[in-house]
């Protein structure tokens, strides 16, 4: 039924003949969805998209709440041969406008509550049809799917055809659409399923958002490929997740999940007795968290490392030594090297820029060949912007980043995006955004702002001005007005110095 559609076939195979097996249980309502129902809904949605005139290669952008119908919509876009483009539900209209204009989707699906605000935005971006889908699976997309003939034969697509765009911000400006192929997603999920030993008996607690690689292409694709089940949590609630441990076998999360779960008195070895695997990624897990988790639960968290452009690159082993503080070994089929700025290998044991190559590597940035060329060496190595070190056993540690990036609760925040908005304000001369240690999110955003001579802009005015422009998680938690930014002799702003100065706000300069 889906065999000519590379990714749909790969995701579907494990559940063929097991249509009555449960794919998902809603953590709130307890309602279940079988594999048969999931794929029937996906085929219906693919039918609706096809009836609206999509052709292979069209983009279908979605900004929808997490739901089973939302997952069926993802599978439907793949079956229809189109390109799935999920957007963070926290993006305000200003950010959505950029993504729609850049990606040029034919169809945009949003929450009904945002329809009035986003329809003009979508129309200005040339979107042909705006549909709706809410957290309960209701909306005009569902209506259209009910009325359309289901697409019984998924549109043929090969491994090299595009399956998804995920936008990732750049260190120098505009967000870039990473183009991921059917082969990228299928090969990476298959490797992870095998390495982490996922089977049809697994039940994954799914509390991640489904508009990023981690929640969608790792958690969902791996589960589908194993024919396992998920317990779908719409948001992260530590007590509710802990309460589901007895029915589950695995959890995937960002480090914040684990630090928040550690705050739960009920987190004990007994509570984890039925769990076989805890996976962490998207941000560094502190050694302290690793050790506390092991003490409390008897489990060693399996940490892995990936990127939007590459899916997953490395993982600690399932069987064998998991080394806290490392991200493990390169995945089977993934080449990883440490190189200097010219692409020359660094001496063994020395830190160097992490570069990767393999079937996981994206096809480039949408309509930005010069940015693709800047990150991809002619012989196919992708420059990740992470600095790594490899120990004698081959385990990779991430020891720094050459890209200017803040990771807060697993979300990436590019300082340049915040600085550009603040620098545009009347009365502002320049600004610098940087990350400060945060016990919950790992890092939080701070910004130092230099005002024009005589200007009287306040931190509150700065916060208020950027609030409607950026998703909440990108908002600076603290704004310091400073007389100048620290610079080195080359004139480059010294963010390390800002971090050191403001890490302990009570002892920092009293200039804000
Ligand atoms: C929520 N807030 C945040 C964040 N999340 N602020 C900064 N950073 C965040 N990550 C804001 C809320 O808007 C709220 O603002 C306040 O902080 C407290 O919210 P709270 O209810 O405590 O947060 P939450 O809703 O529980 O969310 C925390 C979270 C969430 C569960 C950790 O951020 C999350 O799901 N993170 C996972 C992100 C992820 O999937 N990353 C993978 C992408 P206020 O109340 O002040 O309005 S990276 C990836 O895919 C790569 C390839 C990889 O390797 O995996
Ligand atoms: P993104 O651009 O959202 O795909 O985020 C990818 C970046 O997240 C990587 O380049 C790393 O800097 C970071 N990252 C992902 N997993 C880990 C991890 N386990 N430890 C440290 N950093 C990580």
Whether residue 505 has pLDDT greater than 70? no
Cβ contact 413:445 at 8 Å: yes
Q: Is residue 401, in this structure, part of any structural domain at all? A: no
Query: CA 423, 425, 429: angle at the middle one, nearest 5?
Result: 50
Query: CA 476, 478, 481: angle at the middle one, nearest 5?
Result: 110
Query: CA 187, 196, 306: angle at the middle one, nearest 5?
Result: 55
Q: Which atom of ligand 1 is nearest to the CA of 257?
A: 32
Two tokens at 461?
A: 């005015």
Residue environment code for 182-208, b if the CB has 16+ CB neighbours within 10 A, otherwise e: bbbbbbbbbbbbebbebeeebbbbbbb
Per-residue pLDDT tens over the stretch 193-220: 999 999 999 999 999 999 999 999 999 9
Expressed in angstroms and rounded, the spacing between residue 441 Cα and the centre of ligand 1 is 8
- Provide the pLDDT for residue 1: 55
> Where residue 2 falls among pLDDT bands split at 50, 70, 90?
low
- Provide the pLDDT for residue 172: 63
Q: Is residue 105, in this structure, part of any structural domain at all? A: yes
Cβ contact 21:11 at 8 Å: no
Whether residue 397 has its Cβ less than 6 Å from ligand 2: no
CA distances (Å), origin 145, targets 38, 132, 263 = 13, 12, 43
Expressed in angstroms and rounded, the spacing between residue 473 Cα and the centre of ligand 1 is 7
Q: Could you say which of 157, 181, 202 is where a domain stops? A: 157
Whether residue 506 has pLDDT greater than 90? no
Q: Is residue 327, in this structure, part of any structural domain at all? A: no
**With helix as H, strand as E and coil as C, how does 159-177 read?**
CCCEEEEEEECCCCCCCEE
Q: Could you say which of 115, 141, 157 is where a domain stops? A: 157
Average pLDDT over residues 154-167: 98
> What CATH number is given to the structural domain containing 416?
3.30.300.30
Whether residue 472 has its Cβ less than 6 Å from ligand 1: yes
Q: Could you say which of 91, 125, 157 is where a domain stops? A: 157
- Provide the pLDDT for residue 174: 80
Whether residue 283 has its Cβ less than 6 Å from ligand 2: yes
Whether residue 132 has its Cβ less than 6 Å from ligand 1: no
Average pLDDT over residues 110-120: 98
Per-residue pLDDT tens over the stretch 136-149: 999 999 999 999 99
Q: Is residue 165, in this structure, part of any structural domain at all? A: no
Whether residue 321 has pLDDT greater than 90? yes
Whether residue 169 has pLDDT greater than 90? no
What DSSP state is assigned to residue 493?
B
Looking at ligand 2, which residue's alpha carbon is closest to its atom 9?
Answer: 307
State how far the Cα of 459 lies from the Cα of 297, in Å rounded to an integer. 43
Which pTM does this prediction carry? 0.96
Whether residue 47 has pLDDT greater than 80? yes
Domain count, the chain: 2
Q: Is residue 123, in this structure, part of any structural domain at all? A: yes
Q: Is residue 411, in this structure, part of any structural domain at all? A: yes
Q: Is residue 211, in this structure, part of any structural domain at all? A: no
Whether residue 508 has pLDDT greater than 50? no
- Provide the pLDDT for residue 512: 43
> Where residue 272 falls among pLDDT bands split at 50, 70, 90?
very high
What DSSP state is assigned to residue 219?
I
Q: Is residue 308, in this structure, part of any structural domain at all? A: no
- Write out the residue range of the structural domain in which residue 484 sits: 406-501
Strands (DSSP E) contained in 259-370 are 277-280, 302-307, 311-315, 329-330, 335-339, 352-357
Whether residue 308 has its Cβ less than 6 Å from ligand 2: yes
> Where residue 511 falls among pLDDT bands split at 50, 70, 90?
very low
> What CATH number is given to the structural domain containing 74?
3.40.50.980
């Amino acid at each position: 039924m889906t065999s000519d559609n590379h990714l749909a076939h790969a995701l579907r195979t494990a559940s063929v003949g097991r249509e009555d097996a449960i794919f998902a249980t809603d953590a709130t309502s307890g309602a279940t969805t079988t594999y048969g129902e999931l794929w029937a809904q996906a085929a219906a949605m693919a039918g609706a998209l096809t009836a609206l005139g999509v052709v292979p290669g069209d983009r279908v952008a979605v900004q929808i709440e997490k739901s089973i119908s939302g997952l069926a919509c993802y599978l439907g876009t793949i079956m229809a041969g189109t390109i799935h483009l999920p957007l963070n539900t926290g993006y305000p209209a200003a950010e959505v406008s950029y993504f729609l204009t850049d990606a040029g989707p034919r169809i945009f699906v949003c929450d009904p509550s945002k329809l009035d605000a986003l329809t003009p935005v979508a129309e200005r971006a040339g979107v042909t049809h705006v549909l709706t889908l809410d957290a309960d699976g209701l909306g005009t997309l569902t209506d259209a799917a009910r009325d359309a003939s289901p697409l019984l034969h998924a549109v043929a697509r090969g491994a090299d055809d595009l399956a998804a765009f995920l936008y990732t911000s750049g260190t120098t400006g505009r967000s870039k659409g990473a183009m991921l192929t059917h082969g990228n997603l299928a090969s990476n999920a298959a490797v992870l399923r095998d390495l982490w030993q996922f089977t049809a008996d697994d039940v994954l607690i799914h509390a991640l958002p489904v508009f990023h690689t981690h929640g969608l292409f790792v958690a969902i694709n791996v589960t589908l490929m194993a024919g396992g089940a998920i317990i779908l949590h719409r948001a992260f609630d530590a007590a509710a997740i802990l309460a589901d441990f007895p029915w589950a076998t695995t959890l995937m999360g960002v480090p914040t999940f684990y630090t928040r779960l550690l705050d739960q008195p009920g987190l004990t070895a007994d509570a984890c007795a039925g769990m076989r695997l805890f996976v962490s990624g998207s941000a560094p897990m502190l050694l302290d968290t690793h050790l506390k988790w092991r003490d409390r639960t008897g489990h060693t968290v399996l940490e892995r490392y990936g990127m939007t452009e590459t899916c997953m690159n490395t993982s600690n082993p399932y069987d064998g030594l998991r080394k806290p503080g490392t991200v493990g070994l390169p995945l089977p089929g993934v080449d990883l090297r440490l190189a200097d700025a010219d692409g020359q290998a660094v001496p063994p044991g020395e830190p160097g820029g992490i570069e990767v190559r393999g079937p996981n590597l994206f096809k480039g940035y949408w309509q930005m060949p010069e940015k693709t060329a800047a990150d991809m060496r002619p012989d196919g190595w992708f420059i990740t912007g992470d600095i790594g070190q490899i120990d004698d056993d081959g385990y990779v540690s991430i020891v720094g980043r050459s890209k200017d990036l803040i990771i807060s609760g697993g979300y990436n925040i590019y300082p340049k995006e915040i600085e550009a908005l603040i620098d545009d304000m009347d009365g502002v001369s320049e600004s610098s955004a940087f990350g400060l240690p945060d016990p919950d999110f790992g890092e939080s955003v701070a910004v130092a702002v230099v005002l024009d001579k005589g200007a009287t802009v306040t931190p509150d005015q700065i916060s208020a001005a950027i609030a409607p422009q950026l998703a909440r998680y990108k908002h600076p938690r603290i704004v310091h007005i400073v007389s100048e930014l620290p610079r080195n002799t080359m004139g480059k702003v010294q963010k390390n110095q800002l971090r050191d100065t403001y890490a302990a706000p009570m002892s920092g300069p009293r200039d804000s």
